[in-house]
Structure 1
């Protein structure tokens, strides 16, 4: 490390192999933290995790709360979140079957962060939609101009 400091290297970005294995390195293409990041930031996972912050839910209650999610997508999302350790699934041996879902401590931690992101999006949705609308209009105007310019260039090349 001292040699790197002498050469002017940024020591704060140097992470040892053992630390990377323990912590993960999301920018590396083969890091498993990328998969987890993908799992927790999917549209349905964000909504499910934030919904479960209110407490334990049965499957049907979650499906009602997360409007628009199909039964299949909700089941897949819950299975993935359970496999990653963010959600606990408790099945009771009764007829009809009763299954409940709740956040684990790790799920609580990630849900709190995602809630902040969801809140930010809701607060700024007006600005986002206005920007998107302006961008779409600019793209619609620019596309014919670009096509015309390409046609002129092709004609000039002949």
Structure 2
């Protein structure tokens, strides 16, 4: 496959581009938390163990910039903001589920047990 340019960066495969959109420690957990319904910032924070406010904020902005999530701001006092998946990110859920299944297979194959989240 030929390399290609997207947003000023050279990619060598579509998989690499995919991982730029959903890869990293926090993007997939954020997308999975939003898979069933819209959530507010505090709800997202409570649903994702170990994420800091700084990281959640930056990852939400990055996912929004890439068209993976949208936010709706309600003009209320205090202001309310809902985050939700876009059609693009809804397609990514199947990919994330497949990666999860493969990761679970690898864990089983290598005798790795998961730690319980606190």
* TM-score normalised by the chain length of structure 2: 0.76
Q: C-alpha root-mean-square deviation of aligned residues, in Å?
A: 3.0
Q: Which runs of 4+ in 1 moved over 6 A?
A: none
Q: Is the 8 A contact 1:49 1:103 kept in 2?
A: yes
Q: Is the 8 A contact 2:33 2:48 kept in 1?
A: yes
- Aligned partner of 1:90 among 69, 72, 88: 72
Pair 1:106 & 2:91 matched: no
Structure 1: runs of 5+ lacking an equivalent: 1-12, 131-158
Q: Within 5 A, what are the aligned runs for 1:1-158?
A: 13=1, 26-27=11-12, 34=16, 37-128=19-110, 130=112
Q: Is the 8 A contact 1:50 1:115 kept in 2?
A: no
Give the aligned partner of residue 115 of structure 2. Answer: none
How far apart are residue 35 of structure 1 and its match?
6.3
Find the aligned partners of 1:85 and 1:94 in 2 and give their Cα distance: 25
How far apart are residue 111 of structure 1 and its match?
2.3
Q: Is the 8 A contact 1:49 1:111 kept in 2?
A: yes
Other structure's SS at 1:61 match? helix
Aligned length: 110
Higher relative contact order (CA 8 A, sep 6+): 2
- For residues 107-157 of structure 1, the C-alpha deviation after alignment (integer angstroms, 9 at most, x for no partner) is 101122112212332354243455xxxxxxxxxxxxxxxxxxxxxxxxxxx
- Larger helix proportion of the pair: 1
Structure 2: runs of 5+ lacking an equivalent: 113-118
Other structure's SS at 2:19 match? helix
Find the aligned partners of 1:88 and 1:21 in 2 and give their Cα distance: 25
128 and 38 in structure 1: CA distance in 2 versus 1, 3 angstrom threshold: farther
